[in-house]
């Protein structure tokens, strides 16, 4: 066991670059500046000095894990009928608490003198995992069920987070715009959750024409569009026309500054997330896949969410260690394999390979493999950081307490 969890997982040549670490972030949000900043400064006073910043981050993530578990128990269909109303209020509470804990952990680190590169890696790793949790809860609150709409919502969240992470790798700064997902996005999501708790998820299936004033002359396409589809369309619009251009422009400036070819760099570095989203979509959308029809979408997203967590966290690890941008992870192979297997009958005109049972067992095995591989990798990386920096991950050393 000692060899398996060895602290020598990362070479010392790379770990030496941790001495160059300096956290850099920019948050342009007016909501943060005028409201949330004061709320976070008050909230941090409620935490005792002995609690480690990374433990605060982990507790915040546990709130989201609990909400996902409650969804599996009380609203596994994620449809308009939904679960008990308190479930959606719980969604709002868990997301708000996660966001709060995620924003005060850094303040706790500065307050206790325990800031370190591990804090940024741990924080970002939890954010990467939480992206899939939040997308799943949003689909459930909108009553979208196991549908392609839920798939699209999930894909946008993953791609958006990946681009932000890649941008930080190139620029060295975490940039949050005037309207951003971790701030305004969280608030809007909490409002959606509260409305679902008050009126039920079925409200989001109403056509837009029944909700807006009749004096508004909407095109028939919009008037008959369900509210949940309106929300997804708005999210897609904001993603394509605000988030994507800002991220690529920032990376373009960084490439020019460092004399790197922009086009070829973007093609190579965005290849993993392109493969991820394509495999994710083509597997679940295949007519020979039973993920949606047999309601295995929650298990599917939890599995692929772990894979994404590994992908995004490896980018931040490369940023901290000043190493090459990660090109691939072995956890992608079963996802690509599932997409190929489910679509082979359409390409080669052969009998379906997957049955409802075999596909379910395949995803279960994939989940177990991804979880074990991710946890082992995370422990190895954390041990390497702690050993080199002389710190502990979830505990403040006694001398720091004093």
> What is each CA distance from 78 to 162, 270, 336, 354, in whole angstroms?
26, 31, 26, 24
- Rounded to the nearest integer, the mean pLDDT of the chain is 94
Q: What is the distance between the terminal CA atoms of the chain, rounded to a whole angstrom?
A: 33
Whole-angstrom Cα distance, residue 60 to residue 49? Answer: 17
Q: Point out the catalytic residue in the list 38, 124, 146, 319.
A: 124
Q: Can you tell me the mean pLDDT for 46-73?
A: 97
Backbone angles phi, psi at 27, to 5 degrees: -125, 110
Whole-angstrom Cα distance, residue 394 to residue 360? Answer: 36
Closest of 13, 131, 144 to residue 75, by C-alpha: 144
Q: Where are the domains of the chain?
A: 12-209+220-401
User: CA 279: distance to chain centroid?
Assistant: 17
pLDDT of res. 217: 82
Predicted confidence (pLDDT) at residue 399 exceeds the cutoff of 60: no
For 200-235, write each residue's pLDDT tens digit.
Answer: 999 999 999 998 887 788 888 889 999 999 999 999
Predicted confidence (pLDDT) at residue 5 exceeds the cutoff of 80: no
* Structural contact between residues 316 and 168, judged by C-beta atoms closer than 8 angstroms: yes
For 85-105, write each residue's pLDDT tens digit.
Answer: 999 999 999 999 999 999 999
Predicted confidence (pLDDT) at residue 173 exceeds the cutoff of 80: yes
pLDDT of res. 402: 45
Residue 124 known to be catalytic = yes
pTM value is 0.94
pLDDT of res. 4: 41
Q: What percentage of the chain has pLDDT greater than the value 90?
A: 89
Whole-angstrom Cα distance, residue 72 to residue 133? Answer: 12
pLDDT of res. 215: 74
Predicted confidence (pLDDT) at residue 23 exceeds the cutoff of 60: yes
Q: Between these two residues, 3 and 313, which has the higher pLDDT value?
A: 313
pLDDT of res. 397: 79
Predicted confidence (pLDDT) at residue 400 exceeds the cutoff of 80: no
Whole-angstrom Cα distance, residue 211 to residue 1? Answer: 60
Going by pLDDT thresholds of 50, 70 and 90, the confidence category of residue 401 is: very low
What angle separates helix 244-257 from helix 148-171, to the nearest 10 degrees?
20
Dihedral angle at the C-alpha atoms of 164, 166, 169, 174, nearest 10 degrees? 0
């Amino acid at each position: 066991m000692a060899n398996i969890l060895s602290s020598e997982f990362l070479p010392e040549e790379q770990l030496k670059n941790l001495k160059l670490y300096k956290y850099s972030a920019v948050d342009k949000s007016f909501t943060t500046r005028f409201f949330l900043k004061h709320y976070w400064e008050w909230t941090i006073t409620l935490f005792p000095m002995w609690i480690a910043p990374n433990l605060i981050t982990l507790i915040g993530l546990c709130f989201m894990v609990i909400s996902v578990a409650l969804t599996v128990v009380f609203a596994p269909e994620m449809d308009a009928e939904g679960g008990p109303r308190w479930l959606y209020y719980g969604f709002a509470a868990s997301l708000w608490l996660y966001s709060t804990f995620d924003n005060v952990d850094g303040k706790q680190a500065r307050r206790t003198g325990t800031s370190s590169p591990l804090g940024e890696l741990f924080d970002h790793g939890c954010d990467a995992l939480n992206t899939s949790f939040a997308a799943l809860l949003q689909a459930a609150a909108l009553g979208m069920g196991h549908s392609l709409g839920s798939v699209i919502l999930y894909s946008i969240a993953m791609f958006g987070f990946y681009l932000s992470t890649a941008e930080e790798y190139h620029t060295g700064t975490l940039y949050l715009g005037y309207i951003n997902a971790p701030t305004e996005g969280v608030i809007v999501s909490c409002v959606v959750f509260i409305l679902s708790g008050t009126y039920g998820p079925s409200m989001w299936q109403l056509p837009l024409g029944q909700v807006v004033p009749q004096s508004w002359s909407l095109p028939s396409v919009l008037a008959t569009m369900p509210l949940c589809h309106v929300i997804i369309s708005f999210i897609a619009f904001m993603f394509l026309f605000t988030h994507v251009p800002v991220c690529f422009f920032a990376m373009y400036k960084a490439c020019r500054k460092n004399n790197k070819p922009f086009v070829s760099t973007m093609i190579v570095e965005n290849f993993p997330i392109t493969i991820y989203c394509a495999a994710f979509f083509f597997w679940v959308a295949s007519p020979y896949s039973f993920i949606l029809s047999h309601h295995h979408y929650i298990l599917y997203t939890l599995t692929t969410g772990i894979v994404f967590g590994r992908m995004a966290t490896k980018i931040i690890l490369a940023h901290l260690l000043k190493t090459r941008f990660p090109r691939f992870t072995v956890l992608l192979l079963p996802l690509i394999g599932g997409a190929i297997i489910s679509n082979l009958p359409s390409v080669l005109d052969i009998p379906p390979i997957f049955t409802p049972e075999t596909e379910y067992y395949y995803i279960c095995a994939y989940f177990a493999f991804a979880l074990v591989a991710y946890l082992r990798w995370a422990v190895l990386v954390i041990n390497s950081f702690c050993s080199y920096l002389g710190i502990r991950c979830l505990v403040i050393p006694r001398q720091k307490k004093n």
